[in-house]
Amino acid sequence: MILKKIFLLVCFLTVSITIISCSDDNEDVIIEGLTEQTEEEEEVIVEEETQSEEEAEEEAEEETEEEVEEEVVAEETEEQAEELSSYVLYENVEFIVDTDGLDTKRFFSTSTGNLYTYNEIDAEIAPTIDLAWYDMSPSNSGFLFWMSPDDLFQDEQIEGGTTTKMENTADQMTVEEFDAIADESSLIDLVIENEDEAMGPQDYPTIVLFENAAGHKGAIKMKSNDGQIMIVDIKVAR
């Protein structure tokens, strides 16, 4: 009887050990399966991240190329606009009417658009002066004219001044033609002959033509002159 009980106990222990062993094996299999699945998921995530980074780099490169192309187009457009409109317009420039001359703004630079008095002109400014105005209209209505900066009338000379051809009396352009100028073509074809003559009494507005030392041609629309200030518009080809 005792032997039978011992035999049954041994069988029970054997079955228990077998079940436990199987459970451990199954756990190992499950763990291994989960580990492999996790590793595969990580690989997929890494691949997706790598692919996203590559796509982002490609998009960035495409955007950069598009920006460069847009900049080139913009530069070409600006250059074309300059070519189509290569002249400068200065409006309502006020020249002072004063025969004294040294402290009145009668000297103009078409490159900077600035008016100067004689005493303001130094070695740096002198080469930029294109137009010089002389006006005795308060006492002599006909004795007024434009001068070349290197050949002033009854004034101290501008050291380093350049030569500008002035047509004080030639009738090459009408007021309507001046107003219609939309590009440089109406100016560059002009033939300017220098005239060292006074203009005589004027009915404003009137047009005077010039060519500066750099060969840039222009037109002055003298709009009004009240004996103190002469107001003009200036158009000059670049």
3-state SS, 54-98, equals: HHHHHHHHHHHHHHHHHHHHHHHHHHHHHHHCCEEEEEEEEEECC
**Both tokens assigned to 40:** 């595969």
- pLDDT confidence of residue 20: 42
Residues whose CB falls within 8 Å of the CB of residue 13, separated by 6 or more in sequence, listed in order: none
State the Cα–Cα distance between residues 193 and 150, nearest whole angstrom.
16
In this prediction, what percent of the chain has a pLDDT beyond 90? Answer: 39
Report pLDDT for 87.
87
Distance CA 228, CA 100 (A): 12
What pLDDT score does 214 carry?
93
The span from the CA of 148 to the CA of 14, in Å, is 126
> Which residue is listed with tokens 């434009």?
146
Q: Which residue has the tokens 């073509």?
A: 185
Cα-Cα end-to-end distance for the chain: 129
What would the pLDDT profile of 165-214 be if each residue is shown by its tens digit?
999 887 889 999 999 998 888 899 999 999 878 888 888 999 999 999 99
Instruction: Quote the strand ranges of the chain, DSSP E.
Output: 87-96, 107-108, 115-116, 131-135, 144-147, 165-167, 206-211, 217-225, 229-237
What pairs with residue 132 in β-bridges? Answer: 107, 147
Mean pLDDT is lowest, of 10-14, 37-41, 97-101, 218-222, for 10-14
Q: Name the DSSP letter for residue 205.
A: S
pLDDT at position 72: 42
Model confidence pTM above 0.75 = no
162 burial class (0-12, 13-18, 19+ CB within 10 angstroms)? middle
- CA-wise closest residue to 236 among 218, 220, 221: 218
Closest CA to 213 of 129, 153, 146: 129
Cβ neighbours, 10 Å, residue 222: 21
Dump pLDDT digits (tens) for 110-136. 999 999 999 999 999 999 999 999 887
In one letter, which amino acid is 216? H
Are 164 and 211 spatial neighbours (Cβ–Cβ below 8 Å)? yes
